[in-house]
Amino acid sequence: MIDMKKALVYMVVCVILFMSLIPFLWFVNTSLKSTVEITTIPPVLFPAGTLESYRSAIDEYNLLHFVRNSLIVASITTVVTILISIVTGYAIARLRFAYKGLFMGSLLVVSMFPQISIAGPVWRILQHLGWLNSYQGLIIPYITLTLPLGVWILASFFKELPPELEAAARVDGCSHAQTLFRIIVPLSAPGVFTAAILVFIYAWNEFFFALLIMTQQDYQTLPVGIALFQGQYTMPWGEIAAASTVSTVPLVLMVFIFQKRIISGLTAGAVKG
């Protein structure tokens, strides 16, 4: 009976995994098709394996330009968010102040606001600052949106570290900053890494604010650039599939490579406490 239950669980997991992977596998398959194969009915399941769509996406649709913009925005967002989250999360974990639980709850509530509800004020502020169509105009909102996640993960993780470590470091002459960055942060590497991965993925994939703030192609990120691919008479499905593959595959590989660190960070920090 136990073996049957395990087999049923594995079967359900495999079905869910397969259904989740179908869209990804389909646009990878489409990206390797020729123009004739893309429009063939019934669909061609085993394409010839041409890279013409990738070449066209790079040469005709400026794909690498959008990749560069996304990389700049996501990297800066991740670094700044993690630095602020480390300091804030450590303060929340170690300092005693009134209504700490209410503060943490409010942090989660803020992170759940629908993007459309704050789009107008954000756009007005950026317009007043002259930051529309600029990297900082997108990075600042991203930092604001991802900080609650980073602070929550790291604060939960820091709570699990014994305060005696900091006391010992101060006895050895370390300042608070030295204790934090030389002792606490290295010991909290799984939590820091988990928060960084999640923040990077969010900034890399975010579409709504990128579309709202970046109206000039010079600053548009990869999701917006792909959405605005246009053909003269038809949609360039091959190029869209190729660009989607370029956008997705690095994230998939990153998660597969660092999955143990991510799971360790989530279970040791975000789940405990």
Per-residue confidence (pLDDT) for residue 270, from 0 to 100: 44
Q: What is the largest CA-CA distance in the chain?
A: 74
Q: CA dist 177 to 75, 124, 223, Å?
A: 24, 37, 38
Q: CA dist 243 to 45, 66, 73, 167, 223, Å?
A: 20, 10, 18, 52, 9
Pick the more confident residue, 45 or 63.
63
Full domain range(s) for residue 81: 62-270
- H or E segment to which residue 217 belongs: none
For residue 5, being part of any structural domain is answered with no
Residue 1 pLDDT exceeds 70: no
- Per the prediction, the chain carries an average pLDDT of 86
For residue 43, being part of any structural domain is answered with no
Tokens of 58: 């790079």
Distance CA 104, CA 250 (A): 33
For residue 30, being part of any structural domain is answered with no
Range in 167-176, 204-213, 262-271 with the lowest mean pLDDT: 262-271
Total domains in the fold of the chain: 1
Distance CA 150, CA 159 (A): 14
Q: Which of 156, 135, 158 is nearest to 80 (CA)?
A: 135
For residue 141, being part of any structural domain is answered with yes
Range in 53-67, 80-94, 189-203, 247-261 with the lowest mean pLDDT: 247-261
Per-residue confidence (pLDDT) for residue 267, from 0 to 100: 64
For residue 41, being part of any structural domain is answered with no
Is the C-alpha dihedral spanning 259, 263, 268, 270 positive or negative?
positive
Per-residue confidence (pLDDT) for residue 167, from 0 to 100: 83
Start-to-end CA span in the chain (Å): 35
For residue 85, being part of any structural domain is answered with yes
Per-residue confidence (pLDDT) for residue 264, from 0 to 100: 67
3-state helix, strand, coil in the chain (%, to 5): 80, 0, 20
pLDDT band at residue 232 using 50, 70 and 90 as cut-offs? low
Tokens of 18: 């397969």
Per-residue confidence (pLDDT) for residue 219, from 0 to 100: 92
Per-residue confidence (pLDDT) for residue 269, from 0 to 100: 46
**CATH number for position 120:** 1.10.3720.10
**What is the arithmetic mean of pLDDT over 110-119?**
84
Per-residue confidence (pLDDT) for residue 7, from 0 to 100: 82
Residue 273 pLDDT exceeds 50: no
Taking each helix axis as running N to C, give the angle between helix 189-205 and helix 63-94, from 0 to 180 degrees, rounded to the nearest 10: 140
Range in 108-117, 203-212, 221-230 with the lowest mean pLDDT: 108-117
Q: What percent of the chain has pLDDT over 90?
A: 36
- pTM (predicted TM-score): 0.87
Q: Is-contact 241 53, C-beta < 8 A?
A: yes
Question: Residue with structure tokens 């370390």?
Answer: 174
Residue 77 pLDDT exceeds 90: yes
Residue 200 pLDDT exceeds 90: yes
For residue 81, being part of any structural domain is answered with yes
For residue 49, being part of any structural domain is answered with no
Per-residue confidence (pLDDT) for residue 271, from 0 to 100: 44
